[in-house]
Amino acid sequence: MIIKKLIIKNFRSYYGEKVFEFQKGLNLILGANGDGKTTFFDALDFVFSIDDVERRSFSYSACVSKKMFSELAPGATGKVMVSVDVLNSDNRPRTIEREMEVRKKEDGTMSIVSSSHLGYLPLINGGRKTVMVKDLLYGEGLFPPIIKKYSLFKGEKALNIFEDKTTLKNLINLFSDIKDLGPYKDFAKFGEDTSSRAVTNAQRKDKQAGEAAAQLLREKELLESYLAQENSRLADLRTTYSDNQARIDAIEADLETIELVHGMQDAIKDLQDEVDILRDKLDENYSTNLLDRLWILNGFQPVLEEFAEKMSDFSEKKQTLINIEKERAIREKAEREAEAKTIAELKAKLTELPWYIPDVKTMQSMLEKERCLVCGTEAPKGSSAYAHIAKHLEEALEHINKTHKQEHKEEIVEELFKLRNVESLHQMSIQLYQYGINLNDISAEIEKEKSRNDGLHLEIQDKNQTIDEKQTEMARVLSQSASGHDIGELAGSWLNIKHWYKTREDASIEIERITSKRIPELKKKIAENTEKYKKAVVDITAKEFLKINTFYKLLGDALERAESRTLEEFMDKLATTANRFLEMLNIDDFTGEIDISRDFRDNSINVHLVGSDGKNIDNPNTSLFTTMHLSVLFAISELTKDNLNSEYPMILDAPTSSFDEGKDKTFYQVMNEKLDKQCIIVTKSYLYKDESDKFAVDEKGIQKLLSVKHIPVYRIQKRTGFDKKDQSTIETIVTPLF
């Protein structure tokens, strides 16, 4: 199939009708970023896609040229179309058109009026016959989806088709004979099962069959069930391996970074924990400590000392007073005793009072009787005699009371100090003085506390600074994600990632054990058991069925082996063809050799470069990596020609974006010179920025390229004078060069 002509009409930035004509060999579309390269690619994808088959749908409204739509009057309609003229594998012209009509509603919004996707066959009379697109794509093999998948590549990264684990299966289905073995294998299995049941039935019927044969049959069934279990387990393990490999592949490029970030996260967390511990140790409750820890008493020591001194003086004075008082009391007591002694002596010497000197009792009786008992005269109340008696009685009583009061005076003096307040105060002052000595330590304690807190603050500050530095370093490392994954999140899941590796490793070891040991052992035992069983079976019918059973079993094994050989042949062929292209595309450059091998653990295909020593070439440069992928793709394309008797164009969007300027031109030079298939490439190679900072075509480079062979070269670019914020002003213009 060759694409001859492509018409893009009102498709996104391709305003109006733009025409490209192509030929076999290299075709170049030159455009800078934003000039419509990807839209060109998408237009081709749009016209060749069958949405329901590929399980996707184009957004029709997104395909409409904003400029065309903006120019529509309300109620008017406009047409969007992509049309491609091709030659099929028999060199017959065919056309595929995908179009739609849109209307601008009164409110300015868009409605899709109609859409169609049709194929056309030219008629002799100049007309054309309409056919279904599927009939062309499948019936005539014009870019069926599975071929398109390995022919259209958007961007350099998409060239690595083997990242997709379904690729091997698809390629084998497309190009190898392996899929053709499926029905035969199914039939061989059917034959083996059917004949096995026949053997069993015959054996059961055969009364001569011994217990040994029956036992062997049971053993065989058991061994076969073990084998089935191992195969099932193998399939599970391959899935596990494949799943974890896919996870690892996705992050492999960032693994070291993730591990580094994980270490940093741990270190930062440890530091933060240390900061938390230090913060817990801080005690800066200075205000509450004034009362809680009596810091408020700081400076009270001189006051308490003075208080103690004064109380000591006071106590001494009190003691002096007590002593004086004691001396006085002793002296008075001695005086009283001397007085009493004198009185007693005097009393002893006293004569009885004369009758005319009455005592208190007599005088009281005299007042009661109102008669003087001394003289015997009446002394009625109010008389001078009564008053005389009363006066004497009063004097006598006063004298007695005075004496009595003097006796009690001593006791009162003693009671003045009985509360012992002075002693208590003195004692208190001593205690406070002792306490005051300790108050001298408060200053030191406060100073020590403050110094400790200052030390902790410094330590916290240091650690916070280290944390900041580590976080800055971590942010720098995070920005270096090679895969575009969130490294921080992945680092947080470091244990999961370790688990992926471990699970993959465990699965790999177990797959190795099962495939290299367990399954061969079981197969050997089954084979031995079958041999024994053959000898044990004596019944002629059973023996006959057994022969048939053996035949199918051998056929099944032979088909398995043929499948394996076919796969190896396919990979050899793919590698040989790919290496031919690799050598061609890397002229004058080191290439190594493409090695294509199958990973038996998950049935995936590994493509890598090996040196002459047979060892893998680690980290090949991007351009070599890209040419390796392109070589494999060209090889696949070549296999298409051989196996499907049809050739398909390769359509590549910016495949050489990582190439340096010299390398990409050499690449296109070689492509033009040596490539014998249609290849349409949209690229910004051969464009450079001139003095006015605008993209210009490297005419010398193009002339050199065309000197080998004339090829179609188109320049696509945005029409100047557009409004950067208004999509309806954007228009891609197409200019054929040379």
Partner 1 sequence: MSKTDNIFAKVISNPAICKEYGITDPERYDNIALGLKSSNGYVQAIAQILKEVSFTYESKRQDMAIRHKEGTVVLEENEMKSIYRKIVGILEKTR
Which residues would be at the binding site for partner 1 (CB under 8 A)? Answer: 53, 134, 138-139, 177, 180-181, 183-184, 186-188, 190-191, 194-195, 544, 547-548, 550-551, 554-555, 557-559, 561-562, 565-566
Q: Which is nearer to partner 1, 90 or 618 (CB)?
A: 90
Cβ atoms of 694 and 6 closer than 8 Å: no
Please identify, using beta-carbon distances, which residue of 138 and 300 lies nearer to partner 1: 138
CB 307 within 8 A of CB 429: yes
Burial class for 407, CB neighbours closer than 10 Å (0-12, 13-18, 19+)? exposed
Closest contact distance (angstroms) between CB of 505 and partner 1 is 35
Minimal distance in Å, beta carbon 172 to partner 1?
Answer: 13
Query: Cβ–Cβ contacts within 10 Å for residue 437, how many?
Result: 12
**Taking the complex as a whole, how short is the minimal distance between the CB of residue 63 and partner 1, in angstroms?**
26
**Quick one: 310 or 565, whose CB is closer to partner 1?**
565
The residue (of 72 and 555) whose beta carbon lies closer to partner 1 is 555
Judged by beta carbon, residue 50 or residue 708, the one nearer partner 1 is: 50
Nearer to partner 1 by Cβ, of 88 and 669: the residue is 88
Residue 139 vs 455, nearer CB to partner 1:
139
Instruction: Give the containing element (helix H, strand E) for 313.
Output: helix 301-349
- To partner 1, the closest distance from the beta carbon of 543 in angstroms equals 11
DSSP string, 148-202: HHTTEEESSGGG-GGGSTTHHHHHHHHHSSHHHHHHHHHHHHHHHHHHHHHHHHH
Shortest spacing between CB 493 and partner 1, in angstroms: 39
CB of 529 to partner 1, least distance (A): 17
Can you say whether residue 75 is alpha, beta or left, with left for phi > 0 and alpha for psi between -120 and 50 degrees? left
44: which 2 tokens?
């081709």
Burial label for 565, CB within 10 Å (0-12, 13-18, 19+), is exposed
Output phi, psi for 301, to 5 deg: -60, -45
Helix or strand run (H / E) with residue 714: strand 713-718
The two structure tokens encoding residue 165: 């684990």
CA distance 645 to 639: 9
Nearer to partner 1, 234 or 562 (CB): 562
Rounded to 5 degrees, what angle do the CA atoms 108, 110, 113 make?
135
Cβ–Cβ contacts within 10 Å for residue 439, how many? 19
* Least Å from the CB of residue 143 to partner 1: 17
Nearer to partner 1, 74 or 139 (CB): 139
How far apart CA 555 and CA 513 sit, in angstroms, is 27
In the complex, what is the shortest distance from the CB of residue 535 to partner 1, in angstroms, rounded to a whole number?
Answer: 16
Residue 696 identity (one-letter amino acid) = A
**Minimum CB distance to partner 1 smaller for 328 or for 535:** 535
DSSP conformation letters of 366-387: HHHHTB-TTT--B--TTSHHHH
Token code pair at residue 20: 């490209």
Shortest separation between residue 49's beta carbon and partner 1, angstroms: 16
